[in-house]
Chains A and B, each alone.
Chain A
Amino acid sequence: MSVTKRANRQWLVLLSILAVFGLLAAACGSDDAADTATDDDTSTSTDDDTSTDDDAMADGETKTIRVAAVANGNVERMAELAPEYFTPESGIEVEFTILDEGTLREVTTRDVAAEGEQFDVVMIGMYETPQFGANGWLTGLNDLAAASDTYDIDDLIPAVRGGLSVDGELYSSPFYAESSFVMYRADVMEENGITMPDAPTWQEVADIARQIDSDEMAGICLRGKPGWGDLGAAFTTVLNTFGGTWWSANDDGSIGTSQVDQPEFAEALNFYVDLLNDAGEDDAANSSFNECKTLYEEGKVAMWYDATVAASLFPEDVVANTAFALAPTNLTEGSGWLWAWTLAIPTTAADPEAGFEFIDWATNAEYHELIADLDGWRAVPPGTRQSLYERPEYLDAAEAFAQRTLDAMLAAPIDNPGTTPRPGLPGVQYVGVPEFQDTGNRCTEQFSAAIAGSISVDEALEACHAIASEYNG
């Protein structure tokens, strides 16, 4: 009996040790949380030796804001420059969380929608901004912008500003913006005696692609990787100009019924898949911006229809051989998309002024000059401000594509991209409703499988119609 009693006591001791440990851990945990909630920097106290927490608190000098942003070159460059060029001036430290596009959407949408209060500034796209703004999840920027000497809201390219506003209130500030156009190898066209029109139709582009296509060089590179922002974006611009759409619109602008079963939709998808099969890049079902960019730079494709921002990322020798044409059309006048990665402040953010101070720094014209000084004018994040396209230095450095980019952005038909009424406007390469994300993702998985040839186009259409119909209003 005494053995068991002692055993009992042993276990009690162990249990209480565990409990104490748990409590300690919990205490540490909530300390962490409290620290971050008060915008007090925990990392300075552990990593840096410049100032202790107490100093910072007493002086009220160091604030920390937390920013979630997408992983790409322009953003990473900005994150590198912030500690050197933003923090000393503003006294605000910026902690970045850089995530890939898909994860960023998951994290930021949940954070702003369910009030996670994890971030002071989030990078979102042109697709999310009007929706989040209308839901009341974002801080309006008009007043903050008006109070700034450096921001100059009227300098924003009107189409971009329009796409990021709800009822005249700007809800996010564009970091860079893009349209879509055709990039092609001028030298290859010349060798083959082909003249590419300035504003080609899809039929012309397809004919040229099939004509050029050879074993060494594919005719055209198009996105085929699943995702509403990958294949979904490129394909929807084709769909629009072929007269198709994802859903009809009710009178109040809400989602009507799925239009995926309509002949125009089938025509567009057949056109896209056939073109890729006949004259597209290898492994098109796995290709998106990155893959196409590599193939184009290596001379394995003669044409590439994608984002205008690509031009600013090419090496010099590639730019020299490249010419540009507007996004191809069929039934509509223009078909280029409009996209921007933008910075926004969730309504739950503790210190919107500090957040805007950072947004201002990262997206104003002075930032353009900073990048120009450090990396050259060609590396400036394009597409957001008219002033950039008025600067002779920029037009000179980016001569090959600057005007084309601006033209494409101005021509993007954001208020009426197709031939029939549709929900979710403005928006070209997406339908600006929350339901499109799921529909676009799952349908493009089907389309991608059709491109790979593992299912037929008809099977893909049937599945996609079922998916889109889940959301019929």
Chain B
Amino acid sequence: MTAATSNAPSREEQVKALQKREARRRRLPLLPALIFTILITQIPFVMSLYYSFTDWTVTPPSPRTWTGISNYTDAFTNSFFREAAVTSIVMTVSSVLLSVILGTGVALLLDRKFFGQGFVRTLIITPFLVMPVVAGLVWKNQMFSAAFGVINWLLEAVGLEAVEFASKYPRWSIVAVLVWQWTPFMMLIILAGLQGQPASVLEAAKVDGATPRATFFQITLPHLRPYLELGVLLGSIYLIQVFDHIVVMTGGGPGSTNVPYFVNQRSIGGGWRFGSASAFSILVVIATIFIATFGLRVLSGLLEGEEP
């Protein structure tokens, strides 16, 4: 009896030990990246968490006393934060969608053989490579400006009134620049998808007499889905953090203050209320994780893959 009971677990233990060793062996290559990321990103996060429960202000200097959740209750009632959240969502969603749509269009144009194909593609990817600060300044001062802007100069040349884009339509001016910068990126991803399309399928569709429209919607688009999803995911991650563009183009304000700008303004951008600013950033992280968990489930293709 005793022997049997002690024997059985030991075999199980052996299996378990093997499994454990296997798991550890699999984990090992992951560890450097994981540990590095945890160290660099989670220490600041924990510090922010701590500050968010204090009333720390830099100027006037405060003793940094523990205030419990009062920063959070304040945050929930802050109408300016709500406005910034709306701006963030509208700005991110519209610039991601517009650049994906435009990117698809441009990719379709570039997926045909024509004279100068490579050159035109080269021209189009350039905006993605420009520094955000520079992109904002160039658009604001040289494209949108009512006095010296090329766009207004053209408008006036055809007899229209000049429009003060950046100040009249701050949100959409920023979206325009973001779309200008991110369409090339989306175009690259989608072009990759188009070129990965099996020629035989397209050929077959042609032989069957399918219209180009039908071919596009029934064959190309479903094939492009994972590429579009990758574009949406990467675009969203970067575009929700947009900050430099806003600083140089509008300097914030109704319609253009998004969440990062709001948080910055509350901390080093003049507010110097680090306790409160930290509470806002913690809320942002929680909200983003929530949205992203939901979003990634929708973008099913990206996390699919066989389990070990």
Contact = CB atoms under 8 A, between A and B. Distances in A.
Q: Do A and B truly interact?
A: yes
Given A135-B61, A226-B253, A446-B254, A441 B169 contact: no
Contacts of A455: 254
Which among B29, B79, B169 has the greatest number of chain A C-beta atoms within 10 A? B29
Band of interface residues on B: 35 or more
A291 B145 CA distance: 11
Interface in B11-43: 25, 28-29, 31-32
B254 A285 contact: no
Contacts of B209: none
A14 B32 CA distance: 9
| B interface secondary structure, majority | loop
A225 B61 contact: no
Contacts of A225: 251
Interface in B139-181: 140, 145-147, 162, 164, 166-170
Interface stretch (B117-125, B188-196, B268-276): B268-276
B252 A445 contact: yes
A276 B80 CA distance: 27
B146 A8 contact: no
B302 to A, nearest CB: 28
Contacts of A440: 270
B293 to A, nearest CB: 31
B223 interface: no
Given A7-B25, A8-B28, A282-B146, A131 B167 contact: no
B270 A463 contact: no
Contact of B58 (A109, A226, A285, A433): A109
A272 interface: no
B60 A135 contact: yes
Interface string A101-132: 01001100110011000000000000000010
B257 interface: yes
Contacts of B2: none
B265 interface: yes
Nearest to B264: A106
B56 to A, nearest CB: 11
Interface of A: 4, 7-8, 11, 14-15, 18, 102, 105-106, 109-110, 113-114, 131, 135, 225-228, 282-283, 285-286, 291, 294-295, 300, 433-434, 437-438, 440-442, 445-446, 448-449, 451-455, 463, 466-467
Given A442-B265, A446-B254, A448-B251, 7 more contacts: A282-B164, A286-B146, A434-B272, A437-B270, A438-B270, A441-B270, A445-B257
